[in-house]
Amino acid sequence: MLGFLDSRNRVSPVNGILSWWDGVELWLSGLGFVLQTIVVMPVVLALAYVIAVTLDTLLGRGIRVVRRVRHSDREPE
């Protein structure tokens, strides 16, 4: 029985991250709209930039592969 209680009371890293995130949400929701915007926009813009660069790179590589496959399909004349 004691083993069960010990394992239930331990805090996993995921629980620690979730508790931290709950605190951040609570702090952010307590700010005014303008301050929320000032805090959130740099994070959102940086995330959008990283996603855009990643998608651009993947799409560019995909197009290069398709062109290479099409070029290799042509028979030499």
Rounded Cα distance between 69 and 63, Å, is: 10
Q: The whole model's pTM is what?
A: 0.61
Residue 37: what residue type?
Answer: T
Q: What pLDDT was estimated at residue 73?
A: 75
Spell out the per-residue pLDDT of the chain, length 77, in tens.
455 555 566 668 888 899 999 999 999 999 999 999 999 999 999 999 999 999 999 999 999 999 998 888 776 65
Backbone angles phi, psi at 51, to 5 degrees: -65, -40
Rounded Cα distance between 71 and 77, Å, is: 13
Q: What pLDDT was estimated at residue 8?
A: 63
| Closest-CA residue to 24 (of 8, 40, 11, 13) | 40
Please state the domain extents for the chain.
Answer: 2-73
Q: What pLDDT was estimated at residue 36?
A: 94
Q: What pLDDT was estimated at residue 9?
A: 63
The stretches of 1-77 forming alpha helices (DSSP H) are 2-9, 13-30, 33-73
